[in-house]
Structure 1
Amino acid sequence: MANRYEQIAADLRKQIEDGALPAAARLPSESALALHHRVGLPTVRHALNVLQAEGLIEKRHGRGNFVRAMGQKVEYVNDRTRRAAQPPGPDGSSLERALDDSSEVTVSCCEIRANDELASRMNVQVETRLLEFSYRGRRPKDEAPYSIVRSYLLYAMVAPTPTPLTSTASPWGNEYVHWLTAAGIELDHVVERLTARPPSAREAAELGISPGVAVIAIQRTSYDTHDTVVETADLVMSGDRVAAVYSTPCARTRQPC
């Protein structure tokens, strides 16, 4: 027989799945739930913790527990470098931007020195000058960004700072393709290593992630035609707001299967 907290969690879960408790609805107070189920507050809190860990509800300090709204996910697709390489339209837009036109992107840039990890990833000496570009993609209705991207380029390769850094940038930080092309560097291939994991404390705070929600973490490495690393990036995305979509070319048609 299930424990009482499991029964309470199951009852609330069913109400959420059936729509009796719709998205953004406030759950009854903990004391009301305890009275209804004839249990103590610790049992109710245990049940609510289970639902929060499953990503079904969120606790809002001083306001109570609410059903989490599951909106349409932003898609990260693996052919974005090809799309980013396409020339912009007459209005300055691009196919990639059109796919993300609901996003607000903030971009910043600073000069850093390569630490041991970045030096190893880019095959350069420690303390080599790099440019770090940070991108935060956010939907207007959300308080927190759904993705944070930090992209690294060799300072000597693209300095002075590429421009423009505007809100029309891609949330995935693909402007580097244009900058490399302008510097006479031809991009050959991109390797992406994807993992799903719990967020770090910093990531949870930056992305506004509720307990129980994982992040999609991608380490991107871009190579030129000489098999030299020309860019590396770390993409961290909220797992409940972003879907990673990958297509694989067929050998015969070279089109996505």
Structure 2
Amino acid sequence: MAKRYELIADDLRQQIGTGTIESDARLPTETALSSQYRVGLPTVRQALSVLQAEGLIEKRHGRGNFVRRSRQQLEYANDRNLPEADSTRRHEPTAGSDTDVTVSCCELGATDELASRLGVPVGTRLLEFTYRSQRVEDDAPYSIVRSYMVRAMVAEATMAPVSDRSPWGDAYREWFTGTGIELDHVVERLTARPPSADEALALGIAPGVSVVAIQRTSVDTRGVVVETADLLLSGDRVAAVYTTPVIRARQLC
């Protein structure tokens, strides 16, 4: 049998879902909800905590509980890594009238972790490209990508402006083409986890919303790691979609 706070949470969730309580609207006070549902304040607070953990409402200091503004969900799809003939879908959003991709670049020495991932000595000079992608109607970015490459490897590459490129930091593939580097495969390791305090602040994430963290490793035809990246995606605005080609029996003959 459902507990009282669960029933209250269900009722409020339904009202939010149907629009009875509109996006960005303030919920009744805890005292008013206590009177409405004929329960004590601790029960009301439990119900509100459930909705906060689900990312449906947020508590604004000194103002009360508000319905979070709905945010359009985007798809991060791996089918862009497949040959064009095999890729039947393209979910890759690009900068345009509704998306702003801010790109910055700096040079740094490889840390122990980055040196291990790239297979280079600690201290090797790297380029770090940071991509922050945000829809114009949102108040925080939906993704932050940090891409790392060995500086000497891309020294001859023509790095065109990337403000109109993919928010996933894929421009390096075109740069490598100009230097004769051909990618062989890309490995992506995906985890879902609670955000750190800094990550939650940077992505505007409410309590209870997870992040999707992807570690990308790009390997060329020589077996050399030519790029590694850390992608941080807001769990309430980005879904990771993976397509795996199936080898048919006739292809094996």
Q: Would you say how many aligned residue pairs link Structure 1 and Structure 2?
A: 244
* Aligned residue runs from structure 1 range 14-93, under 5 A: 14-81=14-81
1:172 Cα deviation after fit: 0.2
Provide the TM-score with structure 2 as the length reference: 0.87
Give the gaps of 5 or more residues in structure 1.
85-94
Residue aligning to 1:202: 198
SS of 1:79 mapped into structure 2: helix
1:30 Cα deviation after fit: 1.9
Residue aligning to 2:178: 182
1:11 Cα deviation after fit: 2.4
* Inter-partner Cα distance in structure 2 for 1:230 and 1:76: 22
1:202 Cα deviation after fit: 1.5
Please give the root-mean-square deviation of Cα atoms over the aligned residues, in Å: 2.5
* Inter-partner Cα distance in structure 1 for 2:6 and 2:186: 46
Task: Tell me whether 1:211 sits opposite 2:214 in the alignment.
Answer: no
* Inter-partner Cα distance in structure 1 for 2:25 and 2:43: 22
For structure 1, which segment, 8-17 or 223-232, has the greater mean C-alpha deviation from structure 2 after superposition?
8-17
* Inter-partner Cα distance in structure 2 for 1:163 and 1:78: 24
Residue aligning to 1:151: 147
C-alpha change, 1:166 and 1:176, in structure 2 (3 Å) is closer
Structure 1 letter corresponding to 2:143 = S
Question: In structure 2, which of residues 134, 146, 160 is the aligned counterpart of residue 164 of structure 1?
Answer: 160
Structure 2 letter corresponding to 1:203 = E
The answer to whether the Cα contact below 8 Å between 2:154 and 2:176 also exists between their aligned partners in 1 is: yes
Give the gaps of 5 or more residues in structure 2.
85-89
1:75 Cα deviation after fit: 1.2
C-alpha change, 1:160 and 1:32, in structure 2 (3 Å) is farther
- Structure 1 runs of 4+ with >4 Å offset: 81-84, 95-100
Per-residue CA deviations over 1:228-257 (Å, capped at 9, x if unaligned) read: 10000000100110011111112249xxxx
The answer to whether the Cα contact below 8 Å between 1:107 and 1:169 also exists between their aligned partners in 2 is: no
The answer to whether the Cα contact below 8 Å between 1:213 and 1:239 also exists between their aligned partners in 2 is: yes
Residue aligning to 1:124: 120
Residue aligning to 1:90: none
* Aligned residue runs from structure 1 range 218-237, under 5 A: 218-237=214-233
SS of 1:185 mapped into structure 2: coil
Structure 2 letter corresponding to 1:13 = R
* Inter-partner Cα distance in structure 2 for 1:83 and 1:136: 27
C-alpha change, 1:204 and 1:116, in structure 2 (3 Å) is same
C-alpha change, 1:100 and 1:77, in structure 2 (3 Å) is farther
Task: Tell me whether 1:242 sits opposite 2:229 in the alignment.
Answer: no
Per-residue CA deviations over 1:89-129 (Å, capped at 9, x if unaligned) read: xxxxxx78765543210000000111111111111111111
The answer to whether the Cα contact below 8 Å between 1:70 and 1:240 also exists between their aligned partners in 2 is: no
* Inter-partner Cα distance in structure 1 for 2:236 and 2:10: 21
For structure 1, which segment, 243-252 or 228-237, has the greater mean C-alpha deviation from structure 2 after superposition?
243-252
SS of 1:135 mapped into structure 2: strand
Question: In structure 2, which of residues 169, 172, 183 is the aligned counterpart of residue 173 of structure 1?
Answer: 169
* Inter-partner Cα distance in structure 2 for 1:68 and 1:142: 11
Provide the TM-score with structure 1 as the length reference: 0.85
For structure 1, which segment, 8-17 or 131-140, has the greater mean C-alpha deviation from structure 2 after superposition?
8-17
1:198 Cα deviation after fit: 1.0
The answer to whether the Cα contact below 8 Å between 1:81 and 1:177 also exists between their aligned partners in 2 is: no
* Inter-partner Cα distance in structure 2 for 1:41 and 1:83: 58
Structure 1 letter corresponding to 2:55 = G
* Inter-partner Cα distance in structure 1 for 2:83 and 2:21: 41
